[in-house]
Structure 1
Amino acid sequence: MEIKNVEVNEFKSTVTIAGWTRLVWTDDKLKWQAENYDGVDMFHVAPHEVWQPDLVVQNSATTTAIAQESTNLLVFKNGEILWVPTTTFPVLCDFNLKMWPFDQHRCKLIIGSWAYNSDHVQLQYYGNANNTIVNNRTPDEVLEWHITDFELLMNTRNFCCGNSYPTLVINFTLKRITTCYKSLILSPLIVVIILSLLSFWLPPKSEEKILLNVITTTIIVALMLYFTLKLPAMGNDTPLIVKFYTSTLIITTLSMINAVLIIFLSTTPQKYPVPSMLRKFLNHHLGIYLGLSNYINQDKSNLDNERNKPPENFYSGKYQDDWILLASVINRILFLIYTLIFIVLISKYTL
């Protein structure tokens, strides 16, 4: 068999292999002496004029036979018949899309006689088994799939009545060529992670936090819609990349809620101070460790100024810097948590 084209349909779990198949058998009734027929040692016949093996693909997704009656046969004087029809094998394959789009699948092609059992027909691979399958497709071509790793087996199957039927089992591996997917999948992944974490580094009062989260959500939703078009609905074999973006969408939603809370704490005048113990801890330990010294210094200078103001300014927002510091600490802690979550997601779903 010489493979010319491979078409994969993940939605129907089928692989269609198109190519040429070389079939050779001997018919004793078609032997002759060439000298008795003016030296003729070969002639052409139509498929319906001679006996043909009724070979079918037993794991086919359709009822198409292995050989189509579209080409003539060559009959040689020793009774050998050579037939090289164009063939199409639509076979069922159990796809596991867990590693999509960097996936590969093990499929099989089972060829056997439909009506003749082992007492009438014996099947074997032609010539050297290593040259039985010729794959002219190379990974360098602009293709999505490449067939590798052929395994040729001969087997018998018992269907009924104690009769065994010979079969040829061709196991092969389908490997997806991922060149076109690397930039399509990996580039948005990097952008999503950067945008998700960048919102935590903006000033607490910055409303651009919400904008960054909206942009990140839009990118993820667009990718999820793309996955819906490219992938079938799977049960336990949901691609890891889909799980990653699903988890990222949840994280981005929580990040947007956090952004709204941080902006609220930073911009809304607060009438009540931050508890003294918490404020002391933020100014002397946690704030320094989180790299928020600028907010701490600003908080101290503003506090000295507020002490010199008259009491009637008590509700004018003089505690706002404390709340900004608290919002910044919450924001920085969540940044560390989200970074850790992304590292876990990347190691679990993409590596």
Structure 2
Amino acid sequence: MDIKIIISAVLLFSLESLSQDVKKEVNPHDCKMMFTYGYGYNKFFHISPSGSHDGGNITIRFLVRARSDAHLLLSSTPTPMDGEAVYEVVLGGGKNVFSDIRRLRLGSTKATAYTKDLLSPVELRGFWVHFDGKGILQVGKEGDDFPFLFWADPSPLDIRYFSFSTWTGVVGKWLYDCPIANDSETIEIVEAKPTTMTEKLRKYLLSNYNPYALPVLHEDHRLAVFMHLTFHHVNLDMKRSAFSIDGTVPMHWIDEKIHWKPEDYGGLTSLHITEHEVWIPEIVLYNAVGHGANILGHAGMTVTSEGAVMWSPSAHLEVWCNLNLDQWPNDIHTCELQLGLWSQTQFVELLLAENETVMEDEQRTGSEWEVIKLESETVISRTPWNQDVDADMLTSGTLTIRVTVRRQSQQQNIIFVVPLIVINVLMMLSFWMTSMNTGKFSIQCMCLVLLAIFTVTVGNALPAPAEHVPCLVLMYSWSMIAGLMSVLVTTIVINISRYAHASPPPTFICALITLPVTRIMLFLPQVKTEASKTYNQLEENFNVHESCADINTRTPTSTHLEIQQYWIILSSAVDHISSFIQFVFLVGILIKYN
């Protein structure tokens, strides 16, 4: 026999038995109440044996107020795991267009029905869900005998618990476990009548308001949404190349569907409402770290009698940023925030309110970054998810905000720059030790090792590789080269000073290093001519009257000592010149760094 005939027969039998139950209308007074926001089943209710749970038959009656996506979950356990078999009933899904039955949370649809405007954002509407224990699940409106949605499960579940939920950005008010009225009593599902001017105004504005429709009276009208950013905290994660902003995004626009005469409502010129009650722009961060949707937090809204809507939600914006590390750690970076709309891009224009994007004078939390410049422009481009589609209608205006930040912390300068200066000064001072003192060789080798250690430390502290090498890394690299040259010069100078020379330096060198100007500029000693002194005991205030050529007329001992003195003076000249070069090098890299 055809399986459809069997299911139809069983369903008709169930409907006959069910019709007696659904005639008992629910009384909304003295019901239990709960609110849900977003998707997630946080509280489960046990179905105890009662009139609503007769053997395998379960009937759950409830009232719900939501703009869309009311979810009811039927489960065998109080905490069903992901992937565990459950029954999930979705009422008013797809922006209040259809309803579904699923056998897994967010699973594939087992049964669906077109139910446009099934739910209401302003009034409670009643429903019933019946499960006969044999696999037939039925969903209907309160007061109707026949379901508008049903499904027969070939492998029925043992249902013991139920739970309520809505969807992202949707608030739901639920009434459940309501007393059952007598068969002869007729109770209408209504809420208390408005008693204040505010309640009357809310009823007037929101009763027939569709929060999914664009708030314009004519289809050819474009809606301008003005916004600006108020930063409370900015941060740049150098390792991830991610720039983040925490603050608020005040927005305002004109809702042509909201308008009233203040004199008709006690002089009320403004009304405070929640964000889900009227249309709001679905703003998306196109270059976000992550999906980029739902970037705005929750905040109340204010509407005026002229239709102006003002909304200031909190926001956490995190985007990828192309880093410029040339001047790290005194670095300046420019990052872009590309804001656009998820839908209705052809009818909504996102604009930055002129001169209203500000950085608060006092940040709520400490940050090492300071905003120094803000720029914005609107660019017509394709949405990121439609890059391959060739259609003009898929283009939209992207609000691009460029934020330039500068590091204001001096910690890196103290940690990395000061040791570099100290090491270079130490190498410079080592050249002023006596030319035959081997201690300066040890000092310069130690400085070279310290430079290598700090270079590795700087490399580990750097963020991800960038297009250009940071200036600080170049400073350490060139300092290591300068240190290597210092070791080489010191090695040559020590060997020249300690080696026994048979002849003096060339005549022009002797003449140059004995000139008074040279001696003053390089702080060189004078040649000592007394044979009683050893060549390393030099007197700086003795005048030289002889040239290198006159040394050959001296006695052998005197000649040998003076030859050594000329070589020692030459070594001192090389040391002092190297010291000056080291000083110029240090000043040069500091100027480049700053």
Q: TM-score, structure 1 length as denominator?
A: 0.77
The answer on whether the counterparts of 2:428 and 2:583 sit within 8 Å (CA) in structure 1 is: yes
* Amino acid corresponding to residue 350 of structure 1 in structure 2: Y
Residue 343 of structure 1 deviates from its aligned partner by 4.8
Q: What's the counterpart of residue 130 of structure 1?
A: 355
Q: What's the counterpart of residue 177 of structure 1?
A: 408
Specify which of 305, 315, 321 is matched with residue 87 of structure 1. 315
Q: Secondary structure at the match of 2:326?
A: coil
CA shift in 2, pair 1:185/1:274, >3 Å: farther
CA shift in 2, pair 1:340/1:147, >3 Å: closer
Q: What's the counterpart of residue 455 of structure 2?
A: 224
CA shift in 2, pair 1:69/1:31, >3 Å: farther
CA shift in 2, pair 1:210/1:168, >3 Å: same
The answer on whether the counterparts of 2:513 and 2:569 sit within 8 Å (CA) in structure 1 is: no
The answer on whether the counterparts of 1:150 and 1:172 sit within 8 Å (CA) in structure 2 is: yes
Residue 193 of structure 1 deviates from its aligned partner by 2.9
1:331 has 2:571 as partner:
no
* Amino acid corresponding to residue 330 of structure 1 in structure 2: V
Residue 255 of structure 1 deviates from its aligned partner by 1.0
Please list the CA deviations of residues 183-226 of structure 1 after superposition, one character each: whole Å capped at 9, or x if unmatched: 44553343233212111111012233123324433443344234
Q: What's the counterpart of residue 380 of structure 2?
A: 156
The answer on whether the counterparts of 1:4 and 1:137 sit within 8 Å (CA) in structure 2 is: no
Distance in 2, matches of 1:122 and 1:319, equals: 89
Q: What is the aligned-residue identity percentage?
A: 22
Please list the CA deviations of residues 12-44 of structure 1 after superposition, one character each: whole Å capped at 9, or x if unmatched: 322101101113334445556677778775243
CA shift in 2, pair 1:183/1:142, >3 Å: farther
1:62 has 2:262 as partner:
no
Residue 121 of structure 1 deviates from its aligned partner by 1.2
Residue 251 of structure 1 deviates from its aligned partner by 0.7
Distance in 2, matches of 1:66 and 1:287, equals: 81
* Amino acid corresponding to residue 479 of structure 2 in structure 1: T
Tell me, which stretches of 5 or more residues in structure 1 are unaligned?
none
Specify which of 533, 556, 562 is matched with residue 307 of structure 1. 556
The answer on whether the counterparts of 1:200 and 1:332 sit within 8 Å (CA) in structure 2 is: yes
* Amino acid corresponding to residue 332 of structure 1 in structure 2: H
Distance in 1, matches of 2:327 and 2:590, equals: 13
Distance in 1, matches of 2:255 and 2:232, equals: 30
Stretch of structure 1 that moved more, 166-175 or 213-222: 213-222
Residue 231 of structure 1 deviates from its aligned partner by 2.2
Task: Answer 1 or 2: higher relative contact order, Cα 8 Å, separation at least 6.
Answer: 1
Distance in 1, matches of 2:311 and 2:524, equals: 84
The answer on whether the counterparts of 2:529 and 2:562 sit within 8 Å (CA) in structure 1 is: no
Stretch of structure 1 that moved more, 324-333 or 19-28: 324-333
The answer on whether the counterparts of 1:66 and 1:88 sit within 8 Å (CA) in structure 2 is: no
1:248-287 alignment to 2 at 5 Å? 248-267=479-498, 270=500, 273-276=501-504, 278=505, 280-287=507-514
The answer on whether the counterparts of 1:56 and 1:66 sit within 8 Å (CA) in structure 2 is: yes
* Amino acid corresponding to residue 355 of structure 2 in structure 1: N
* Amino acid corresponding to residue 440 of structure 2 in structure 1: K
* Amino acid corresponding to residue 156 of structure 1 in structure 2: I
The answer on whether the counterparts of 1:67 and 1:85 sit within 8 Å (CA) in structure 2 is: no
Tell me, which stretches of 5 or more residues in structure 2 are unaligned?
1-228, 384-389, 536-550
Stretch of structure 1 that moved more, 185-194 or 162-171: 185-194
Q: What's the counterpart of residue 342 of structure 2?
A: 114
CA shift in 2, pair 1:297/1:46, >3 Å: same
The answer on whether the counterparts of 2:297 and 2:314 sit within 8 Å (CA) in structure 1 is: no
Please list the CA deviations of residues 309-341 of structure 1 after superposition, one character each: whole Å capped at 9, or x if unmatched: 9xxxx9xx9976565444334333433444444
Distance in 1, matches of 2:437 and 2:587, equals: 26
* Amino acid corresponding to residue 121 of structure 1 in structure 2: V
Stretch of structure 1 that moved more, 199-208 or 294-303: 294-303
Q: What's the counterpart of residue 245 of structure 2?
A: 17
Residue 56 of structure 1 deviates from its aligned partner by 1.0
Larger relative helix fraction? 1
* Amino acid corresponding to residue 327 of structure 2 in structure 1: M
Residue 265 of structure 1 deviates from its aligned partner by 3.9
Residue 97 of structure 1 deviates from its aligned partner by 1.8
Distance in 2, matches of 1:200 and 1:10, equals: 40
Distance in 1, matches of 2:523 and 2:319, equals: 63
* Amino acid corresponding to residue 8 of structure 1 in structure 2: L
CA shift in 2, pair 1:241/1:76, >3 Å: same
CA shift in 2, pair 1:43/1:338, >3 Å: closer
Distance in 2, matches of 1:262 and 1:234, equals: 41
| Structure ID, larger Rg | 2
1:172-251 alignment to 2 at 5 Å? 172-251=403-482
1:42 has 2:265 as partner:
no
CA shift in 2, pair 1:345/1:256, >3 Å: same
Residue 240 of structure 1 deviates from its aligned partner by 1.9
Distance in 2, matches of 1:83 and 1:322, equals: 86
Q: Secondary structure at the match of 2:468?
A: coil
Residue 2 of structure 1 deviates from its aligned partner by 1.2
Distance in 2, matches of 1:178 and 1:306, equals: 69
Distance in 2, matches of 1:83 and 1:318, equals: 92
Please list the CA deviations of residues 243-267 of structure 1 after superposition, one character each: whole Å capped at 9, or x if unmatched: 1221011111221233234334434
Residue 111 of structure 1 deviates from its aligned partner by 1.1
Distance in 2, matches of 1:147 and 1:308, equals: 75
Residue 299 of structure 1 deviates from its aligned partner by 8.8
CA shift in 2, pair 1:274/1:250, >3 Å: farther
